Every structure is written in C-alpha cells, then in structure tokens.
Amino acid sequence: MKIAHISDLHVNTLIKESNLQETKYLIKYALKQGFDHMAITGDLTDNAQQADFEILRKMFRYYGLLQLDRLIRLINPEAA
C-alpha cells in the first residue's frame, strides 16, 4: 500500500493564496505517484476560517478524495 502524507497546509485564502496553490500542487503530485491512501496531519487552515474549510472540501471532492478509503485527517485529541 502506498500512502501519501501531507502536513500543516495552513490554507489562508484571505492573506496568502499561494498556500492554496501549493496544496493543489501537492495533491496533483501525490495523485501522479499513484498513492492508495492520503493522510493529512497538522493544521488544515491558518486561522480556522469557515470559507477556507469549504474551499478545501471542494478541492478534496474535485480530486476524488472525499472518501474514507482515500483520505484521512489525523488530529491530536488534545488539540481538538
């Protein structure tokens, strides 16, 4: 099984749009490598703006990752 691991995306479309572009690049790169499952750890967004979470959800859906057998978000229970 091939696992892609991405961490600390810190997407913030209000201040730094490049984070979103970098996230797209990482996902496209991982897809080209033919991973079986992707794990995302760390912070998804920089300041927990609802709009950024919605953009990420749309992006994950677009790339076919909104399925438990393709993507998992690992969190630290103490930080949640």
Domain range annotation of the chain: 17-37+46-74
| Alpha carbons 30 and 65: distance in angstroms, whole number | 11
Paired sense of beta strands 37-41 and 71-74, if any: parallel
pLDDT of residue 75: 63
Helix ranges restricted to H, the chain? 18-33, 50-62
Residue 70 has pLDDT above 90, yes or no: no
pLDDT digits (tens, 9 = 90+) for 38-61: 999 989 998 889 999 999 999 999
| Alpha carbons 26 and 13: distance in angstroms, whole number | 17
pTM for this predicted structure: 0.82
Contact 28, 21 (CB under 8 A): no
Structure tokens at 4: 């892609």
Structure tokens at 26: 């990482």
